[in-house]
Structure 1
Amino acid sequence: MTEKPILETNPADAQLMTQKRLVILRTMWLDGPNIWTYRSCIEALVDIQELEQFPSNLLPGFYERLTTWLPGLVDHRCGIGEPGGFLLRVREGTYAAHMLEHIVIELHTQAGLEVGFGKARMTSKEGVYKMVFRTPDPVVGMACLEAGVRLLHAAIEDTEYDLQAELKTIKRHCDMHGLGPSTQHILDAAYARRIPIVRLNDGNLVQLGHGEQQQRIWTAETSKTSAIAEGIASDKDLCKDLLAQCGVPVPEGEFAKTAERAWEIAQEIGLPVVVKPVDGNQGRGVSLELDKQTDIEKAWALAYEESYSGVIVEKFIRGVEHRVLVVNYQVAAVSRGELVCVHGDGQSTLQALIDQQINTDPRRGETEITPLKTIRIQTNPVVSLEVQRQGYTADSVVPAGAQVVIERNSNASEDVTDLIHPEIARLCCTAARVVGLDVAGIDLVCEHIDQPPKTQSLAVVEVNAGPGLLMHIKPAKGQARNVGKPIIESLFPGEANGRIPTISYSGGDEILGFGPELTEILQDQGHRVGLACDQGLVMNGRVITITPSANWQAGRNCLINKNLDTVVMQVKASAILSEGLPFDRSSLAIITSLGSINGLDEWDILNREQHFNVMRTVIDLVLSSGHAVINADEVSLLPLKELCDGKVIWISAIADNPVVDEHVKNGGMAVVCQGDSIHFKGNRAEAEARTPISLRQPPLNLIKTLALAASGWAMDVPHNLLRADIRQRY
């Protein structure tokens, strides 16, 4: 944070601070690249009022209260680049906006969210700061910001603060609005491949890539997950029949329409048996190793409550339950299950023993981020039936040394991926192929995962669509597996990244009409273009609206349209400042001037240097494989060359512009006007025989003409066609 020198104030004056507070004047959700960061964040305009006269070193007891509530602040590096840096600043004296930034980041961390980015900067108005922090969701971010303000005030005023209650509220917002751990894990793998990510709803439906190159995921279901395959997997009886017909060992069983029929089937196939819903998942309503009529009939009732389609009774297979994750018909991870038991002490009730011996496990909880769930006998009918079969209830005192089984299934928690026998692996892949699932969770019961199937009791008991990934991401024992990586590789094989050409352009009056004209050139070459600009929103030649559409929403509408293979978007400073940009990177960026600064004082942009720092965002986003077309005649734009990761194409209306000449001399590309012709310069121009394009008449807007020519070149428009397009206009 850029700060003014700490004021010399009499510490006794700090007693007057008991009612001094900061005020949040405005917040903005910047959903995409912006002036602060490439990723989504919240920018808050903060007025610290009288706190401007009271930095942290002049607030008695503030440091002690803050670090007591948030000891994790010790890890914040701040300006010195090492742990403890921020707290050093607090001891020496820093201002309220800076402290709020770090408090909000730490609240994210305490809620289980890794954000780690924030800044606080002074504005032109005394005591008013811009404070920004990264957050995965605007609702979650605002909850952290509001809780952070309350904590800061409590630490200043020495009042009570219930941190756990605040964190509980934040976590509830995370559960309601945040992505689930399986989805987030897949997105992390996509981000590592620099594949664009677009969240499509408040749940776990996410688009990967843009336009016609996109794929979609919904937790562990993908665009390649067949609806028919999902239907087969959910119909356990049908799934088992198909597997058996293809030689996959499955437990013998039948559909039971009534509890009485369930007992009859159990006697026919032999005890013990398993009773489960036809269309269940995640182990709900499944009861194992039943051998008494009353237990089987009770289990049927439990399974029936969980099912839309009925109940299956099948032979119980001796062995240990495993979950085998198959991605693109290859084994990606294997987890081994375990019986969940407690041991009596002769004094505690069964539920108390569960709370002491099981629910204290940090892997258990009520949120999606915990791989195992808290066990409550009274609210879990399957567990209740299980303990009743052993002669217990929740309130029973278990004798010392006695073991009580609490759960027999859905407890896969130990990674055994490296142990799976090749024949078992092939068997599981076959099961996934039979059903037709690109991502499948195979529930396998066997005695030894590392031995051949023929030497042991073994059966595939279920094939699941959209399997949970948390057991593989955070196993209780063994190695964590990056199962998101093979899912992404199956959706985007090889070097594919889901990108389509994304073109942004910026400037002043000289760029008027550029987007529609460039779109026509690209459409002439067969591109299906989405255009979002001041003239409206057009998708593949169809006018959606003629209202000004140089904004985040219109650009995003183009990016999610599967019918488009190219997007052209006008980028304005006001959109960067107030919304962020809808695309993460661009393949081509055109900037002919900084444009007008009028109206930007709303965001405290008051001079050309600040204006430049906003508009550089356009060039910052160019891919290393992309191009930037920049007006070399605008001196203010010359520093942009060093900010571009791709190749720069200078344009100039001056035949002997020294910047252009030096650039071309060093192997660069340029498009310039010489006499009544447009000339393409550089080694690539010579190799492609990019001869001059003579103009029939001087264009009214020469810079725009040069920008069109340079953009067509960057987009590999054949030279004869580009010449025809340019001459048709001029």
Structure 2
Amino acid sequence: MPEMTGAGAGQAVEYRGTPVALAASWQVVQGHAYGLRGYVLLGLVRWPVNTSWKTGAMVPFLHEEGGLSLADAERHLAKGFGIDAFLALLAVLEKSSYSPVTQPGVQMAPAVVRDGSVTFSLALPSCLPNFTLGLAEWLVSSINLGHSNLPPARRRALADTVNPRLIAARDALKAKMQAGGVNTVRIARACADMQLPLQWLPGGFIYVGSGPYGRFFRSTETEWTPALAANLARSKALTASLLRQHGLPAPTHQMVNSEEEAVQAARTLGYPVVVKPEDSDGGQGVHAGLRTEEQVRRCYALAAAVSRKVLVESHIEGQDYRITVENGKIVKAIGRQPGGVLGDGRRSVEEIIRAAVAATTGDRRRTSMISLDEEALGILAERGMTARSVPPAGEFVVLRRRANISTGGISRDVMDQIHPDNARLALRATQALRLDLAGIDLIIPDISVSWMDCKAGICEVNSQPQINTEFAPNVYRDLLARMVPAPGRMRTVLVLHASDALESDAGVAAAAQQLVQRGERVLSTRRDGTWLNDERLAPPGRDAFAAAMAAELEREATAVVAALTTEEVLKQGLPWLHLDQVRVLCGPGPGLVPRLNACLKLLAPHMAGDLLLDAATAELIDPPVLARFTVSVGSHS
């Protein structure tokens, strides 16, 4: 059995019985396995038998530091602590960390009871192995500390020593996901819901689906987003000019190169004004509603730190709305209110913020977007208030100049309130920039009133809009359903063999020929290269697993056939999420039977078709394993 490691290594923690422990080393499987999307981590966890777990003490750790809601923590521990609760809690930790992983892990084999402990063999889905292991280690620590006999203060102190591993794990995930952003995470989750293949590519790109049905995405930029249109949208000055040429409302602006030029532009345009980078996304460096020369100077420096190009534009008074357009259809519309605090007539602004931060759990506490920073204090001063002022009950005190959700903004659904003229305005703005998918930021007093009857303006058109699932939980599934044509994936045939490359090549050729006769365009990988029907696309020498995985990116192929050994599958997993057919070419051999049975257990949950093998090989397979397949016994030809 692998060496086990408990939580709080090096700490003299008074556990009742043997603590929960993880195996010190875990196998990282690159491909798919046991019904899980790759990466997949394989390893052990153990804990004492017949333990009365202190689940009530575990809940606060999971809520306050792990970021789990109280409802989630209590629900998964309602029936006590066990392997199902462990796997469910780990999955919720993944989700609360904005991981694309949505599946809980699975048990690979029955639990083993020995020497007073029960050991579980687990397969855990992961997008970043070190991140998932960090979460698992932290979860084990929290369970052990919650179960200990320590006084609460001592338990709290020890918790502070293990929390850095959770923070480090989440920071590593953020770094990996930074290029694609949270939109990519949401797309990946939608792929899991829809059982669509997904490949992660460098630079924040992903490939959804496979073969001719697959589509590239980078966040919410798609294959149909013209590069020229995206570049145009990133230039706020060009966007505003183009919108005005189309007769659409947009603020007037001036490009500036210094504080003095910014101040002069503000005087020319008339206060209040907006100072912002000319070519940044996501609201970075944007400062709205500036009313003094001092504010303009300060905010010019902040904007110039983001981009060498700085814009001063007229400020439009009104409510902030984001209208998301996808291929000529409005898919979401929200109203956005700048972040702030709601007065209760008793507490000061400072006290309300402190309480809000204290109520924020886990990782969100470190990144709280509402604070008494320079911007907030400046806005309070403009209202004749300070941090110690006590707002009347029910009065909302704004502490941000922008309404972006990323800066603490509050959103509300307005899909059923949009005036038809404003809906057409959003569609026309998207068409003007030749975008397929866009976020239109509209400032207007009331979304239900036509822009032609009031003062309004489009302050930005985003070619890569953040689309939160709040108010539109199916928005990404709907988007993929429209963009990824059915069936969404190519047909896949795996030839499974022991080590006979010559026999496997013959098996690949036979399977490919059958598919060609059915009208498929078949990509096959053999010792003599990679082939599309009878055309060779690549020379010999490619790694078999990598070549099979890369086949999903081939736009011209509707099917793929590849051969892998049992050892390759056990070590690397499956190159494809779904298997339409598995052809077994393994004859008797040393150690073959246990490898073959283990291999079939790994791939069984991925089967979408039949298992083809000869009668002699069928006799080698354990009946419970064979019962999981639709079996065709006969010739491979």
Question: Paired residue for 1:306?
Answer: 306
User: Are residue 614 (structure 1) and residue 590 (structure 2) matched?
Assistant: no
Query: What CA deviation, in whole Å up to 9, does each residue of 1:170-221 have, x standing for no partner?
Result: 43343234574322222233333332111124x7421102234321222222
Superposition RMSD in Å: 4.4
Question: Paired residue for 2:29?
Answer: 30
Question: Paired residue for 2:495?
Answer: 505
Aligned-residue offset at 1:437:
1.8
Aligned-residue offset at 1:336:
0.7
Question: Paired residue for 2:458?
Answer: 460
Q: Secondary structure at the match of 2:495?
A: strand
Q: Secondary structure at the match of 2:107?
A: strand
Aligned-residue offset at 1:274:
2.3
Aligned-residue offset at 1:433:
1.2
Question: Paired residue for 1:673?
Answer: none
Aligned-residue offset at 1:555:
1.9
User: Are residue 434 (structure 1) and residue 419 (structure 2) matched?
Assistant: no
Aligned-residue offset at 1:43:
1.2
Where in structure 2 are the equivalents of 1:314-353 lying within 5 Å? 314-342=313-341, 352=350
Aligned-residue offset at 1:442:
0.6
Question: Paired residue for 1:238?
Answer: 238
Aligned-residue offset at 1:612:
3.7
CA contact (8 A) 2:98 2:182 kept: no
Where in structure 2 are the equivalents of 1:258-277 lying within 5 Å? 258-277=258-277
Structure 2: how far apart are the matches of 1:100 and 1:361?
25
CA contact (8 A) 2:44 2:120 kept: yes
Query: What CA deviation, in whole Å up to 9, does each residue of 1:336-388 have, x standing for no partner?
Result: 122444578999886x25724765685997599x9x8343514xxx5565456
Aligned-residue offset at 1:98:
8.2
Change (3 A) 1:597 1:300: same
Q: Give, as a single letter, the amino acid of the residue that structure 2 aligns with 1:194.
A: Q
Structure 1: how far apart are the matches of 2:378 and 2:351?
17
Aligned-residue offset at 1:332:
0.9
Change (3 A) 1:640 1:207: same
Q: Give, as a single letter, the amino acid of the residue that structure 2 aligns with 1:506.
A: L
Query: What CA deviation, in whole Å up to 9, does each residue of 1:58-78 have, x standing for no partner?
Result: x8x76676567558899999x
Change (3 A) 1:256 1:157: closer
Task: In structure 1, list runs of 5 or more residues that go unmatched.
Answer: 1-14, 90-96, 653-702, 709-730
My pick for the range that moved more, 324-333 or 123-132, is: 123-132
Q: Secondary structure at the match of 1:261?
A: helix
Change (3 A) 1:447 1:283: same
Query: What CA deviation, in whole Å up to 9, does each residue of 1:531-570 have, x standing for no partner?
Result: 345x37525455756458443x332222234465432111
Structure with greater contact order relative to length (CA < 8 Å, sep ≥ 6): 2
Aligned-residue offset at 1:321:
1.0
Change (3 A) 1:385 1:277: farther
Query: What CA deviation, in whole Å up to 9, does each residue of 1:125-175 have, x standing for no partner?
Result: 967652333344312211123334545665677564416545434433432
Q: Give, as a single letter, the amino acid of the residue that structure 2 aligns with 1:451.
A: V
Max Rg structure = 1
Structure 2: how far apart are the matches of 1:512 and 1:359?
62
Structure 2: how far apart are the matches of 1:73 and 1:415?
23
Change (3 A) 1:591 1:69: same
TM-score by length of 2: 0.77
Aligned-residue offset at 1:633:
6.7
Question: Paired residue for 1:723?
Answer: none
Q: Secondary structure at the match of 1:448?
A: coil
Structure 2: how far apart are the matches of 1:168 and 1:184?
19
Q: Secondary structure at the match of 1:418?
A: coil
Question: Paired residue for 2:475?
Answer: 483
Structure 1: how far apart are the matches of 2:618 and 2:550?
35
Aligned-residue offset at 1:333:
0.7
Aligned-residue offset at 1:29:
2.4
Q: Give, as a single letter, the amino acid of the residue that structure 2 aligns with 1:572.
A: T
Structure 1: how far apart are the matches of 2:128 and 2:104?
14
Question: Paired residue for 2:128?
Answer: 137
CA contact (8 A) 2:276 2:285 kept: yes
Change (3 A) 1:422 1:628: farther
Q: Secondary structure at the match of 2:399?
A: strand
Question: Paired residue for 1:250?
Answer: 250
Question: Paired residue for 1:675?
Answer: none
Question: Paired residue for 2:104?
Answer: 116
Aligned-residue offset at 1:511:
4.6
CA contact (8 A) 1:586 1:621 kept: yes
Q: Give, as a single letter, the amino acid of the residue that structure 2 aligns with 1:585.
A: H
CA contact (8 A) 1:317 1:459 kept: yes
Change (3 A) 1:313 1:189: same
- Which of 553, 566, 571 is the aligned partner of 1:573? 566
Structure 2: how far apart are the matches of 1:82 and 1:292?
54
Where in structure 2 are the equivalents of 1:59-208 lying within 5 Å? 69=61, 84-87=78-81, 104=90, 107-108=93-94, 111=97, 114-119=102-107, 121=109, 129-151=120-142, 158=149, 160=155, 161-162=158-159, 164-177=163-176, 180-201=181-202, 204-208=204-208
Aligned-residue offset at 1:436:
1.8
Query: What CA deviation, in whole Å up to 9, does each residue of 1:242-263 have, x standing for no partner?
Result: 1111121112223233333334
CA contact (8 A) 1:274 1:314 kept: yes
My pick for the range that moved more, 278-287 or 336-345, is: 336-345
Percent identity between matched residues is 21
CA contact (8 A) 1:211 1:500 kept: yes
Q: Give, as a single letter, the amino acid of the residue that structure 1 aligns with 2:483.
A: L
TM-score by length of 1: 0.68
Structure 2: how far apart are the matches of 1:65 and 1:359?
22
Number of residue equivalences: 590
Aligned-residue offset at 1:581:
0.6
Task: In structure 2, list runs of 5 or more residues that go unmatched.
Answer: 1-13
Query: What CA deviation, in whole Å up to 9, does each residue of 1:607-629 have, x standing for no partner?
Result: xxx84463265565343xx6654
Q: Secondary structure at the match of 1:322?
A: strand
Q: Secondary structure at the match of 1:174?
A: helix
CA contact (8 A) 2:130 2:169 kept: no
- Which of 410, 414, 418 is the aligned partner of 2:416? 418
Structure 2: how far apart are the matches of 1:358 and 1:99?
30
Structure 2: how far apart are the matches of 1:64 and 1:82?
12
